[in-house]
Structure 1
Amino acid sequence: MGILAFIVVGLIAGLIARAILPGRQSMGLLATTLLGMVGSLVGGLIGSLFSRNGRLFDLHPSGIIMSVIGAIVVLLLVGAAGRRRVHA
């Protein structure tokens, strides 16, 4: 997958993850794209544990779904770290 496709998939995955999770996430477009890109890496690594077919960075519909799931996991972790820091 090219870098441009990786950025676009990251943006889409980040937007979907932010739309799925309730609450206020104060991030701009760049942070949302980075969230989706990190989520894509996390989701790709999780997906590679279940499937050994094909290359890791190929674009598949299941990879996009795993990118969204990975972005949700990253968003939950960032939110939990932010709440812990403010209350401590």
Structure 2
Amino acid sequence: MGLGFIGWIVIGIIVGALAKLIMPGRQGGGIIVTMILGIVGGLLGGWLGGAIFGVHGNGFFSLTTWILALVGSLIVLFIWGLIFGRKNKA
């Protein structure tokens, strides 16, 4: 059985902070924005893993779960930087 919706949210909060450390550049946003982006990224990673690759997180302590959430968070943070990062440069 895969990880539930709430599980992806909890992991997303944690992985959002990791993604912010990994992603180079200045995307803006404080801790609340980071948590929200992490949640969205965790949910995106879980959805992509299940829908496209047929891989589901196998629980909170599964490496697959954390990798899917991290990839999702990095994607969301990248998109966030593209949208809002340009405003800071102008």
Shared fold (TM-score greater than 0.5)? yes
- Matched with 1:23 is 25
CA RMSD of superposed structures (Å)? 2.7
Kindly provide the amino acid, as one letter, of the partner of residue 20 in structure 1: I
- Matched with 2:78 is 76
Structure 1: unaligned runs, 5 residues or longer: none
Provide the TM-score with structure 1 as the length reference.
0.74
Is the 2:17–2:34 contact (alpha carbons within 8 Å) kept by the matching residues of 1? Answer: yes
Question: Aligned ranges for residues 4-19 of structure 1 at < 5 Å?
Answer: 5-19=7-21
For the residue of structure 1 that corresponds to 2:26, the secondary structure is: coil
Kindly provide the amino acid, as one letter, of the partner of residue 38 in structure 2: G
State yes or no: 1:46 paired with 2:48.
yes
Alpha-carbon offset, residue 8 of structure 1 = 2.9
Alpha-carbon offset, residue 85 of structure 1 = 4.9
Please give the alpha-carbon distance, in whole angstroms, between the structure 1 residues aligned to 2:24 and 2:88: 19
Provide the TM-score with structure 2 as the length reference.
0.72
* Number of residues of Structure 1 aligned to a counterpart in Structure 2: 85
Identity among equivalent pairs (%):
35
